[in-house]
Amino acid sequence: MTATLLLAAVLIGCLLAVQASANLQLTAAVGTPYGAATAQLWLAVALLAVLATAAGAMGALAGVLTVPGWYLLAGLASPLYITSGIFLFPRLGALAAGGLFVTGQVFASVLIDVFGLFGNPVRPLGAGIVIGAVAVLAGITAVVLGPRLPQRSAPGWLVLGVLAGAALPVQGAVNARLRAALIEPLAVALVSFVVAALAITVVLAVLLVTRRTPRPRPAGVRTMPWWGWLGGVCAVAYVTGTFLLIPAIGAAVTVALTVTGQQLAAAAVDARGWFRLPRRAITLPRVAGLVLLVTGSVLVQLS
């Protein structure tokens, strides 16, 4: 049973690479990344509502009225992460974009633990965490600098990737506080995605009014491959899966294995050109960087 759960954690991590790749197809179909993110998040809300209803978890939503307001803000990380993936995957490749996300995740996790942010217990800064963080930094440097940066604005995209990745541990920490209040994990996930969907809807509306993004083309989805809708499904599977795995195998092991799965899937997407993305060579320096990223993240989480 334990081996099955460990494998499930790796496979759930793979979904993050699939999610970003699928979102690119929806973006191409509707003509705007913000429209694609809005569609995927509302799809995720619908799926979670069905799951929460089937599991009898909807009653827990009444607890939302009694929690501090900042408990509800975790969902704001999802629009940032999804739109960042849409922008970064075609520009930097799946492996480099995923590596930036992992770098942000690792360093944000360290800060949350070391300083006891968001009500988390303080975790001493041991040698394993320091060595792991250095390995992650060396790994992402090798992954990103392996190929030539595609454009002069690349440093800005690198910062975006790290910030988007850093938002995920913050989201998890805040959601943990909400789960302590609501108990039901599906109710927590539903609240998080409703906030995310509302936030990206507001962003889309503002951008449309100010003419900063094209008007979405719903008719475009008719010619989109069926797997273009998998972004929302992957998001629900990832959130639900991690909520269920953490009590069974622990948060540290779950994060370490999902990061491993995410990076392995991203490397495969780059090497094979899956999901209609351009092929990018997996050179020896990039392989070394991938190994450092995975090893460093595991050290940080398990130290």
- Per-residue pLDDT tens, the chain, 303 aa: give them: 577 888 888 898 889 888 888 888 999 999 999 999 999 999 999 999 999 999 999 999 999 999 999 999 989 999 998 999 888 888 888 888 888 888 888 888 888 888 888 887 887 888 888 888 888 888 888 777 665 555 444 678 889 999 998 998 888 888 888 988 999 989 999 999 999 999 999 999 999 999 999 999 988 888 899 999 998 899 888 888 887 787 777 776 777 788 888 888 888 888 888 888 888 877 888 788 888 888 888 887 777
Task: Give residue 193's identity as a one-letter amino acid code.
Answer: F
> Would you state the pLDDT for residue 1?
58
Contact 140, 76 (CB under 8 A): no
Residue 222 lies in a domain: no
Residue 1 lies in a domain: no
Residue 221 lies in a domain: no
Residue 220 lies in a domain: no
Residue 5 lies in a domain: no
Rounded CA gap, 6 and 99, in Å?
21
Q: Which residues contact 234 (CB under 8 A, 6 or more apart)?
A: 15, 16, 18, 19, 22
> Would you state the pLDDT for residue 153?
47
Contact 187, 61 (CB under 8 A): yes
Residue 211 lies in a domain: yes
Number of structural domains (the chain) is 1
> Would you state the pLDDT for residue 152?
44
> Would you state the pLDDT for residue 196?
94
Question: What pTM does this model have?
Answer: 0.84
Rounded CA gap, 263 and 33, in Å?
23
Residue 49 lies in a domain: yes
Residue 224 lies in a domain: no
What range defines the domain where residue 83 resides? 10-215+231-302
> Would you state the pLDDT for residue 57?
93
> Would you state the pLDDT for residue 264?
87
